[in-house]
């Protein structure tokens, strides 16, 4: 097992959270059965376990058993799998279930599943009773390396994704790699897009390590997976520590490839491309844009393409031919990360380092899409 | 005009809120027309004005005009009057209106009305885009002296009031006493219950001042009103500064009379008794309970009764005869401020000072109700 500390300052307006709000991201095998004692030691006497319905039998029950064995009273609530659960209606269903069980500020919330359950449960925990203690138990690769770390919670509106939410840090994260063994291959593979991203934006050495270990990772070797997830979690934790609430702009580096990705996902129709697949294509396009702007050379573009493809992820999108590059650029202009219609991109200037680049021309973006 | 500073520490996790989160509660006449420049100086370029539909014509338009004159782009949204608007459905309606107007973190929210609009708008401001700048413009006496100060926001669920919410401090509060001139007399009078409460729990001198000035206040004399509202706001601000998030228990003093009041409101059916009326009866009963427990003498009970009645507020509840004291105690046992079924009350031990008393016997409460 490896454990990464997320160092966050104490909150003077919420001293009950302790002298600081730092927490551990635990990563390794066999963690599900060890959650009970940790929650109990943190003062949990009652807990609501919110679980993706697809993993209730496999993982949810084990966590609930672990909590009960530690003397904790448990309410188990299932959430239907899929993005539509990040809705006002589903949040309201959870709020009402919490009310019916007389949840109070001493009740802990344990979220088990991927990003959908984590984001939804986190938002409900942030707002019920004006804030409940929260634990994340991510059971997908993308949740273990990305969404479970950093305290962003949220639900979608018809008008856009993640428009409603709160910053709400968990008391801890349990990333049990055993849960990845049963993950469908396409979903497992898509998680590597965000892992590759950390190498490109922050850590050239990690990028090289991924090149050398792709086969072991795809074979789901425990030691290699623990290293990749631990390193990714540490890189995300470091940027969250520096810019928890997206004030300084440092956290924006995490959006590398994402302005393109959001346009691809919207153009394809949500659910057609997995998020990680869209990010992989997006990173390939962003690298081409950086090349066109003279920020990097062609060798780095090719090297990133090779790593993306070695994980079985796409670097180009065949179906994109049915959309014009112009219509994709129009979608990007509506992305919430744009500022006043001008296009902004996170672009590399060397392996392991990116910058936020403002006012990129539409022509350059169209060329990067076509290239 | 008077202005009370609410001193709150800076939030290290949200430095954009400034070096500290302190703000001014302005109280006086003619403030509605002066809001625009203040919001503009705080960086507002766009603003959503959320207004109780009952005061849109009288107050909402003046505030919107003031904002527009200061060069601020305004979206005006009305909220139906009454407690049912503190709902998930109404929050969702506002969230969607915000999304349709492309509200972002640079858009300010201005809440105009009583506690319902303030609590609802505050919750929506706390959660849209993970937090927007907020201004309160309370137009009822009870909102000016209580709900607009202190950062509590929330909505109701079928299972209970204020079960969902967030702590979210405004950038400022504008308590314009001109808005009280048109307030229906019963609603105006009910606001004095909370004002009297501040005297009993924190400030014997203020209590005496209220005894001497009840007639001027009931005549809505501007100078007297400004003094009473300003003093109340200062007393509330002081306790919020010491215990913003109800951790130390100091903020619990504000619940004086409220455990009784919540039972009366529930027994009568919500909307039958105004909240302030229920609080007045509740304070009278709480004082009797303190007398029965030997904490205060009969003279103080009588003196508090006299002040309550001099404002035209009830100290006893005739309709209570249709309920047994036992059924009211059963309601209190379900109140969220109880702990494990034991009854807790905020009780005075002298004028200007209260304590939180645990484990009060049901018999004593029944006697206090009947007395």
| CATH code for position B244 | 1.20.1090.10
Chain A positions touching B15 (Cβ under 8 A) are 245, 247
A71 and chain B: CB distance < 8 Å anywhere?
no
Neighbours of B186 (CB within 10 A): 11
Condensed to tens digits (0 to 9), the pLDDT of residues A174-219 reads 999 999 999 999 999 999 999 999 999 999 999 999 999 999 999 9
Q: Are residues A219 and A364 in the same domain?
A: yes
B119 and chain A: CB distance < 8 Å anywhere?
no
Q: Is B323 a catalytic residue?
A: no
d(CA B187, CA A128) in angstroms, rounded, equals: 30
Q: Are residues B314 and B167 in the same domain?
A: no
A274, A256, A258: which is closest to A115 by C-alpha?
Answer: A274
Look-up of token digits 């269903």: A93
Q: Is A246 a catalytic residue?
A: yes
What is the reported pTM? 0.91
Q: Are residues B114 and B6 in the same domain?
A: yes
E strand or H helix that includes residue A160: strand A160-167
**Partners of B112 in the beta sheet?**
B51, B137
- Which residue is closest to A157 within chain B, CA to CA? B96
d(CA B10, CA B294) in angstroms, rounded, equals: 43
Structure-token pair, residue A90: 């589903």
Q: Is A130 a catalytic residue?
A: yes
Q: Are residues A173 and A195 in the same domain?
A: no
Q: Are residues A136 and A208 in the same domain?
A: no
B300, B287, B311: which is closest to B371 by C-alpha?
Answer: B287
Structure-token pair, residue A67: 């909590």
Torsion sign, CA atoms B279, B284, B287, B288: negative
Chain A positions touching B14 (Cβ under 8 A) are 167, 245, 247
Look-up of token digits 């003031």: B66
d(CA A62, CA A36) in angstroms, rounded, equals: 10
pLDDT, averaged per 10 consecutive residues of chain A (371 residues), comes to: 84 52 92 94 95 97 97 98 96 97 93 98 96 96 97 94 94 97 96 98 98 98 97 95 84 94 86 92 97 97 98 85 81 63 88 94 90 72
CB–CB of B164 and A95 under 8 A? Answer: yes
A183, A179, A211, A175: which is closest to A195 by C-alpha?
Answer: A211
The pLDDT profile of chain B, 371 residues, written as one tens digit per residue, is 899 888 887 654 444 445 578 899 999 999 999 999 999 999 999 999 999 999 999 999 999 999 999 999 999 999 999 999 999 999 999 999 999 999 988 899 999 999 999 999 999 999 999 899 999 999 999 999 999 999 999 999 999 889 999 999 999 999 999 999 999 999 999 999 999 999 999 999 999 999 999 999 999 999 999 999 999 999 999 999 988 888 788 899 999 999 999 999 888 887 789 999 999 999 999 999 999 999 999 999 999 999 999 999 999 877 666 788 888 888 887 665 554 557 899 999 999 999 999 989 889 999 999 87
Q: Choose among B13, B126, B129: nearest Cβ to A163.
A: B129
Give which of B124, B130, B159, B338 to mutate to test A binding, by max A Cβ within 10 Å: B130
Report if residue B248 sits inside a domain: yes
Q: Are residues A12 and A160 in the same domain?
A: yes
Residues in chain A, how many?
A: 371
- DSSP letter at B249 equals S
B22, B108, B25, B24: which is closest to B70 by C-alpha?
Answer: B108
B76 and chain A: CB distance < 8 Å anywhere?
no
pLDDT for residue B13:
45
Q: Are residues A115 and A172 in the same domain?
A: yes
Q: Are residues A307 and A328 in the same domain?
A: yes
| CATH code for position A43 | 3.40.50.1970
Report if residue B188 sits inside a domain: no
E strand or H helix that includes residue A155: strand A152-157
Mean pLDDT estimate for chain A? 92
Chain A positions touching B150 (Cβ under 8 A) are none
Q: Are residues B253 and B337 in the same domain?
A: yes
Q: Is B258 a catalytic residue?
A: yes
Question: What ipTM was predicted for this assembly?
Answer: 0.89
d(CA A285, CA A257) in angstroms, rounded, equals: 7
Please give the full DSSP string across B278-305, using - where no structure is assigned: HHHHHHHHHHHHHHHTTSS-HHHHHHHH
d(CA B102, CA B96) in angstroms, rounded, equals: 10
Q: Choose among A8, A88, A165: nearest Cβ to B130.
A: A165
Report if residue B197 sits inside a domain: no
- DSSP letter at A128 equals B
CB–CB of B95 and A9 under 8 A? Answer: no
Q: Is A194 a catalytic residue?
A: yes
Q: Is B353 a catalytic residue?
A: no
E strand or H helix that includes residue A208: helix A204-218
Q: Choose among B10, B14, B127: nearest Cβ to A165.
A: B127
Answer for the pair B125, B168: CB distance below 8 angstroms, yes or no: yes
Chain B positions touching A163 (Cβ under 8 A) are 95, 98-99, 128-129
User: For chain B, where are the alpha helices, taking DSSP H only?
Assistant: 35-41, 61-69, 88-100, 115-127, 141-142, 185-190, 192-202, 204-218, 222-242, 258-268, 275-292, 298-310, 325-334, 362-370
Structure-token pair, residue B365: 């409460």
A296, A305, A297, A292: which is closest to A369 by C-alpha?
Answer: A292
Q: Which listed residue (B26, B197, B262, B288) is catalytic?
A: B262
pLDDT for residue B267:
86
E strand or H helix that includes residue B358: strand B353-360
pLDDT for residue A9:
76
Report if residue B228 sits inside a domain: yes
Range(s) of the domain holding residue B115: 2-183
CB–CB of A13 and B167 under 8 A? Answer: yes
d(CA B158, CA B164) in angstroms, rounded, equals: 11
A341 and chain B: CB distance < 8 Å anywhere?
no
d(CA A279, CA A196) in angstroms, rounded, equals: 10
- Which residue is closest to B123 within chain A, CA to CA? A127
Q: Is B337 a catalytic residue?
A: no
B157 and chain A: CB distance < 8 Å anywhere?
yes
Q: Are residues A249 and A160 in the same domain?
A: no
Report if residue B270 sits inside a domain: yes
Answer for the pair A52, A79: CB distance below 8 angstroms, yes or no: yes
User: For A79-184, where are the alpha helices, taking DSSP H only?
Assistant: 88-100, 115-127, 141-142
E strand or H helix that includes residue A207: helix A204-218
Condensed to tens digits (0 to 9), the pLDDT of residues A305-359 reads 999 999 999 998 776 667 888 888 888 876 655 445 578 999 999 999 999 999 8
Give which of A97, A163, A250, A339 to mutate to test B binding, by max B Cβ within 10 Å: A163
Q: Are residues B239 and B175 in the same domain?
A: no
Q: Which residues 11-30 in chain B show a CB within 8 A of chain A?
A: 11-16, 21
Residues in chain B, how many?
A: 371
Q: Which listed residue (B187, B221, B246, B309) is catalytic?
A: B246
> Where does a domain end: A131, A158, A180?
A180
Q: Which residues 301-340 in chain A show a CB within 8 A of chain B?
A: 336
pLDDT for residue A15:
45
- Which residue is closest to A241 within chain B, CA to CA? B13
> Where does a domain end: A180, A197, A219?
A180
> Where does a domain end: B162, B183, B204?
B183
B68 and chain A: CB distance < 8 Å anywhere?
no
Q: Are residues B142 and B69 in the same domain?
A: yes
At what angle are helices A88-100 and B88-100 packed, to 10 degrees? 160
Number of independent structural domains in chain B: 2
Angle (CA) A23-A96-B53 rounded to 5° is: 105
């Amino acid at each position: 097992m490896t454990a990464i500390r997320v160092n966050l300052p104490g909150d003077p307006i919420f001293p009950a959270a302790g002298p600081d709000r730092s927490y551990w991201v635990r990563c390794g095998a066999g963690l599900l059965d060890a959650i009970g004692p940790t929650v109990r030691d943190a003062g949990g006497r009652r807990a609501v376990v919110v679980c993706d319905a697809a993993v209730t039998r496999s993982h949810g029950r084990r966590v609930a058993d672990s909590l009960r064995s530690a003397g904790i009273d448990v309410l188990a609530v299932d959430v239907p799998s899929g993005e539509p659960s990040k809705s006002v209606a589903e949040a309201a269903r959870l709020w009402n279930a919490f009310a019916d069980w007389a949840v109070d500020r001493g009740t802990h919330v344990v979220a088990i599943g991927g990003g959908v359950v984590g984001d939804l449960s986190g938002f409900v925990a942030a707002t019920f009773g004006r804030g409940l203690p929260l634990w994340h138990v991510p059971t997908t690769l993308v949740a273990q390396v990305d969404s479970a770390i950093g305290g962003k919670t949220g639900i979608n509106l018809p008008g856009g994704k993640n428009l409603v939410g709160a910053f709400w840090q968990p008391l801890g994260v349990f990333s049990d790699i055993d849960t990845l063994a049963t993950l469908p291959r396409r979903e497992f593979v898509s998680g590597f897009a965000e892992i590759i991203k950390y190498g490109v934006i922050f850590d050239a050495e990690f990028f090289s390590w991924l090149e050398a270990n792709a086969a072991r990772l795809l074979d789901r070797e425990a030691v290699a997976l623990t290293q990749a997830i631990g390193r990714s979690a540490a890189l995300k934790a470091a940027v969250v520590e520096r810019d928890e609430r997206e004030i300084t702009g440092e956290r924006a580096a995490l959006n590398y490839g994402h302005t393109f990705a959001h346009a691809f996902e919207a153009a394809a129709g949500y659910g057609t491309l997995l998020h990680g697949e869209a990010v992989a294509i997006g990173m390939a396009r962003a690298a081409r844009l950086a090349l066109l702007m003279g920020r990097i050379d062609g060798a780095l573009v090719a090297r990133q393409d090779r790593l993306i493809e070695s994980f079985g992820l796409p670097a180009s999108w065949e179906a994109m031919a049915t959309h014009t590059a112009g219509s994709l650029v129009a979608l990007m202009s509506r992305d919430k990360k744009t500022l006043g219609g001008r296009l902004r991109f996170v672009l590399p200037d060397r392996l392991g380092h990116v910058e936020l680049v403002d006012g990129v021309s539409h022509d350059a973006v169209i060329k990067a899409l076509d290239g």
